[in-house]
């Protein structure tokens, strides 16, 4: 529950002690702002940042390289999804353009401003920047950290099979070429890998963005935070210039002629996965990472099963269980 909400449009600051209708309108406005920002943040930080890095990867890393199939397992579908997003979402008169408050022009302006300076920070760095380490009972943070650590361990073990000596990576011309190319497009991507641990950090970062971060921004969560009449992606009426005025919330909902676009658009965010090999729980059973990796793949899959079970145990009996980051509910690639 926010302590107060400052609405820039009318300059008013709302709090829970205001009249119920004023406070409810302020929360609706905040929710609309969050929906618009969340969708475009997802586009920047899990699509547009990764695409040029993946292009550099495909130009530099051969199919016989140990990390090729591992990384492509998680990067598949990225190019088509981004193209689809730009055309089907951010085109003129698309459902997004019609029902989201920013519309396509506003969203494109946000992307143009945000992308050039968007950092590729780690999860821990991001939590520090936003001051989120000390918030109690923050399940999103806690589950993300567990998943990050799981992939950190797995990739450390995997790279350890191939980079035996600390200097081995210096002579891996494929990954060095990748770094030299990728840092041209992403300002904080290393221009050379000095250690295998540095390569591992990049791999974990990319996979986390493509799977866990992407799906937590652009799937079930978005489906659950959008509902008529108070949780919508836009307010379709000027906000009052003072508190205590008579508010008819039906003035602010999406107009009847556009309502089907809104319902249809948000239905797209509900994406159950019926194929177990699509999820992080079992996905490595469907990719060949070589005979050497067998034991560590099995160890990682057991870890995913344990994380899944731990979340079930934690949420058992809760009226509103937080299950969004269970490995069995997360796709292994940028899924839509």
Q: What is the pLDDT of residues 289-318, one digit of tens each?
A: 988 999 999 999 999 999 999 999 999 999
Domain assignment present for 321: yes
Q: How far apart are CA 169 and CA 174, in angstroms?
A: 10
pLDDT of residue 336: 64
DSSP one-letter string for 228-264:
TTTB-S---SPPPSSTT----GGGTSPPHHHHHHHHH
Average pLDDT score, the chain: 92
What are the tens digits of pLDDT across the range 101-116? 999 999 999 999 999 9
User: In this prediction, what percent of the chain has a pLDDT beyond 70?
Assistant: 99
Instruction: Name the residue among 321, 313, 336, 308 with its Cα closest to residue 147.
Output: 308
Q: Is residue 158 in a domain?
A: yes
Going through the chain in order, the beta strands assigned E by DSSP cover 5-6, 13-14
**8 within a domain of the structure (yes/no):** no
Rounded CA-CA distance 113/59 in Å is 28
Is residue 140 a part of any domain in this protein? yes
CA-to-CA dists, residue 23 to 14, 19, 33, 34, angstroms:
6, 6, 15, 16
Arithmetic mean of pLDDT, 88-99: 88
The residues near 159 (Cβ < 8 Å, ≥ 6 apart) are 66, 67, 196, 199, 200
For the ranges 174-178, 190-194, 286-290, the lowest mean pLDDT is seen at 286-290
Residue 227: its pLDDT value, please? 76
Contact 218, 39 (CB under 8 A): yes
Residue 9 lies in a domain: no
CB 334 within 8 A of CB 46: yes
Inside any domain, residue 317: yes
Domain total for the chain?
1
Question: Which of these ranges, 39-43, 236-240, 274-278, 307-311, has the smallest mean pLDDT?
Answer: 274-278
Domain range spanning residue 122? Answer: 14-329
CATH number of domain containing 106:
1.20.245.10
Tell me whether residue 6 is in a domain. Answer: no
**Predicted confidence (pLDDT) at residue 228 exceeds the cutoff of 80:** no
Residue 218's pLDDT is: 80
Phi, psi of 30 (to 5 degrees): -65, -40
The answer, yes or no, to whether residue 2 has pLDDT greater than 70, is no
**For residue 212, what pLDDT band results from cuts at 50, 70 and 90?**
very high
Residue 323 lies in a domain: yes
């Amino acid at each position: 529950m926010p302590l107060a909400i400052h609405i820039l449009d009318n300059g008013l600051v709302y709090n829970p002690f205001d009249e119920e209708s004023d406070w409810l309108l302020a929360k609706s406005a905040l929710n609309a702002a969050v929906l618009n920002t969340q969708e475009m943040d997802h586009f920047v930080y899990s699509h547009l940042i990764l695409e040029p890095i993946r292009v550099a990867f495909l130009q530099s890393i051969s199919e016989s390289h140990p990390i090729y199939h591992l990384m492509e397992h998680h990067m598949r579908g990225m190019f088509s999804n981004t193209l689809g997003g730009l055309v089907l979402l951010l085109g003129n008169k698309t459902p997004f353009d019609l029902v989201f408050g920013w519309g396509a022009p506003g969203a494109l302006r946000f992307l143009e401003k945000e992308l050039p300076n968007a950092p590729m920070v780690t999860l821990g760095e991001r939590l520090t920047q936003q001051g989120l380490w000390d918030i109690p009972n923050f399940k999103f943070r806690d589950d993300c950290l567990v998943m990050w650590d799981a992939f950190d361990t797995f990739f450390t073990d995997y790279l350890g099979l191939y980079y035996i000596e600390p200097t081995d990576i210096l002579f891996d011309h494929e990954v060095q070429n990748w770094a030299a190319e990728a840092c041209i497009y992403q300002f904080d991507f290393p221009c050379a890998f000095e250690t295998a641990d540095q390569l591992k950090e990049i791999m974990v970062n990319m996979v986390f963005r493509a799977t866990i971060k992407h799906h937590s921004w652009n799937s079930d969560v978005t489906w659950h935070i959008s509902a008529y009449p108070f949780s919508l992606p836009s307010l379709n009426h000027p906000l009052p210039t003072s508190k205590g005025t008579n508010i008819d919330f039906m003035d602010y909902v999406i107009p009847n002629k556009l309502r089907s676009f809104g319902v249809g658009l948000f239905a797209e965010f509900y994406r159950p996965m019926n194929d177990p090999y699509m999820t992080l729980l079992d996905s490595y059973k469907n990719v060949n990472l070589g005979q050497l990796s067998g034991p560590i793949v099995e160890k990682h899959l057991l870890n995913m099963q344990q994380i899944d079970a731990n979340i079930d145990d934690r949420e058992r009996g809760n009226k509103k269980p937080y299950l969004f980051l269970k490995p069995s509910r997360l796709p292994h690639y940028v899924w839509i």
